[in-house]
Chain A
Amino acid sequence: MTPLADVVVVETGTANVASVVAALARLGRRALLTRDAEVVRTADCVVVPGVGTFGAAVASIDAAKLRRVLSERVARDQALFGICLGMQVFGDASEESPGATGLGAYRGVFRRFPQRPLLRVPQFGWNRIEGDGQGIDDGYAYFANSYRLEEAPAGWSVAWADHGGPFVAALERGATTLCQFHPEVSGTYGATCLQRWLERSRCLSEVTA
């Protein structure tokens, strides 16, 4: 049998990439870690992981000349999965790093969770997700974030969660999935998200010589 194409994981210089690689391996997929813009451009499927700060992630993308390549992948509906900060960088901006410009694949500014009694910030742990029936399934996933998107951008299928008010848990459009939670450590629910994306997009294509 011809092996399936590697999943290209963008090295954004942030933290838990090993968890992403391991999650893909459990789905039988080999991950290729890279910052090479040409590799990212021509890949069958790309994962943009992210833990860290908005400004650092955007700067890292720019330093690797990945801004245009990543934006075009989303615009051309080439398979891409963004995780946590890897979702946020595709928005417009974040309160976390004023002045840093996101990739603008959808309209939205990330704001800090409100400061109020009993509301823990960062949001750390498992929260319930409600899909809109067209994209991400209902279930529980693991979050680790202090900033979130409150309004749904037009043109995307949206899943919601609640932490001091509703916020966007995931966005889907065609072969693009962007999620605020961490599928790589969200048990069976997370594995199913990744697998569904691999199946939906062209990521099941066999390696061509």
Chain B
Amino acid sequence: MSLCVRIIPCLDMKGGRVVKGVRFGALRDVGDPVELAARYAQEGADEIVVLDVTATLEERGHRLDLLRRLRRVLDVPLTIGGGIASVDDALQVLAAGADKVAINSAALATPALIDSMAERFGAQCTVVAIDVSRQSQGFAVLSRAATCDSGRELGAWAAEVEARGAGELLLTSFDRDGTGQGFDLEAIAVARAHTTLPIIASGGAKDEGDLAPAIAAGADAVLAAGMFHSGRVTIDSARRALIQAGLELRT
């Protein structure tokens, strides 16, 4: 007996709608978040991640309302990320219905925010999202929706994030996002070599065949958006592919 591998559909949000793009750009409308999330949960998704890709100030009110509606229908864990810049921000989304909060740019700007969140809410609640891009040597950690190079390197940042008390990493390959080239297995392996925290692999999944290799590379969960939104892959077919690869999934 051990922990099950998790399949996590991701909803990238903009203006109250689910969108999907390529390398964080070229966003197109995919559908209604509550409808999609409820469908994925019903089909057997192990968790749902909602990322506000353009979390502007005026959209925050809408986001809390959306969260409340998502919470009503979702009976699996819900992680919220995007624009969370303080413990107060985190408190608001938790009160509205999130189970876990993902921080990214704010953690890079002020790493002590990870400590504060872990202290206030527990490691169990504190997810650090890391967006990376391949360099000639290693992986650079990007910030501000991958518009800036943070100057940090993946391995060192993963280790620091763990030391500061985070509970989980959401590792996204910017290079692979929306491309269908498969997960960046090397990035997963680098992160895994530097942390014992659970890793959610994200960015690049095209179909069922891409999932098991991410687990073999060191991930504990696979996150995908486009392949589920398009209907190309169902939660069930993803589950069957992982079970066939000899992995345990919940029933």
Contacts and interface: CB of A to CB of B under 8 A. Distances in A.
Do most interface residues of chain B lie in helix, strand or loop, or is the interface mixed? loop
B3 A163 contact: yes
A121 interface: yes
A122 interface: yes
Interface string B116-147: 00011111110000000000000000000000
B71 A123 contact: no
Contact of A51 (B96, B125, B198): B125
Chain A interface size, under 10 / 10 to 19 / 20 to 34 / 35 or more: 35 or more
Interface in A89-147: 115, 119-128, 139-140, 142-146
A15 interface: yes
B198 A120 contact: yes
Contacts of B120: 52
B3 A123 contact: yes
B6 interface: yes
Nearest to A18: B97
Most chain A CB neighbours (cut-off 10 Å) among B100, B119, B249: B100
Interface in A144-169: 144-146, 161-163
Contacts of A51: 99, 121-122, 124-125
Contacts of A23: 75
B97 to A, nearest CB: 4
B230 interface: no
A37 B20 CA distance: 48
Contact of A162 (B2, B6, B119): B2
A120 B4 contact: no
Contacts of B250: 126, 128, 140
Contacts of A115: 196
A162 B1 contact: yes
B160 to A, nearest CB: 17
A18 B1 contact: no
A39 to B, nearest CB: 20
Contact of B96 (A14, A18, A127, A184): A18
Interface of B: 1-4, 6, 41, 46, 68, 71-72, 74-78, 94-100, 119-125, 167-168, 196-198, 220-221, 248-251
